[in-house]
Amino acid sequence: MRLAMIDGRKQRISDSFGAAATDYEAHAGPQRAAATLVADLAARQHRQGAPHIWEIGCGTGLLTRHLQRQWPDGRLLVTDIAPAMVDHAARDAMIGGTFLAMDGETPPFEGQWFDLILSSLAFQWFDDLDGALKRLAELLRPGGSLIFSTMGERSFARWRAAHAVCGAVAAVPAYPSLDRLRASLTAFDDAFAFDEDYPLDCGDARGLIGHLRGIGAVVPRDGVAPLGPGVMRRVMAAFDTGGQGDGYHVLFGRITRLR
């Protein structure tokens, strides 16, 4: 199944993550940690009742399982831009809900639908984060919250530095700073953001590349051409000379609709 009405880049993102669905969780240490924190923030924000929840970018269900345990009687809409990821999550007998392949940046909904809109490490693939936050906040019921994690500027710092040493530019997207996200959230009456750093124990450069392939995060940012084999070998050698492992810088945000 292919999603209708998405551009070429979004289709490539869908295809790359879909291809990684089977083995995704074997590579998803930082993703698991970020999903746990998003779930904890959601539980603190909505303590009673059976909320109507929309999850954007479910992947294989790392966050979804937390939500099912926290709100077994809640109404759960589980979505991802990659149909294969949605199918993988839907096969989990511990998860119940409605499962749809959907681009969360352009939701097909209108009106105040949701008590919680949640997402972990998906918004970095949006074309226009500020516009998406506005659209999603408009779908909240009064008192409802949008809670998310996304990639921050210090992510893969060692990999970027290795490119710079070799006079090359990494194809890793340019992620926002915490200050940039906080500036975006000033558009809302009740919002905050903070950040966390998670180590990535990937070993050498081959291990880092294997990690990115394993989670499906291989679509380069626009305007950056792939490196030739010789330059890539030099970048990998520079990375290995500098040590082992890299890291994720993760930004967390919460927007609550007051009225």
Q: Mind listing the pLDDT tens digit for each residue in 208-233?
A: 999 999 999 999 888 888 899 999 99
Query: Angle at CA 163, nearest 5°, toward 162 and 166?
Result: 95
Q: Give the pLDDT confidence score for residue 31 in this predicted structure.
A: 98
Say how far residue 9 (Cα) sits from the centre of its chain.
16
Q: What is the DSSP letter of 176?
A: P
CATH of the domain at 39: 3.40.50.150
Q: pTM for the whole thing?
A: 0.95
pLDDT average, residue stretch 184-193: 98
Residue 91 lies in a domain: yes
Residue 100 lies in a domain: yes
Residue 232 lies in a domain: no
Domain limits at 129?
8-156+173-206+246-256
Residue 22 lies in a domain: yes
Structurally, the chain folds into a number of domains equal to: 1
Residue 131 lies in a domain: yes
> Is 182's pLDDT higher than 80?
yes
Residue 43 lies in a domain: yes
Instruction: Confirm if 3 and 11 have CB atoms less than 8 A apart.
Output: yes
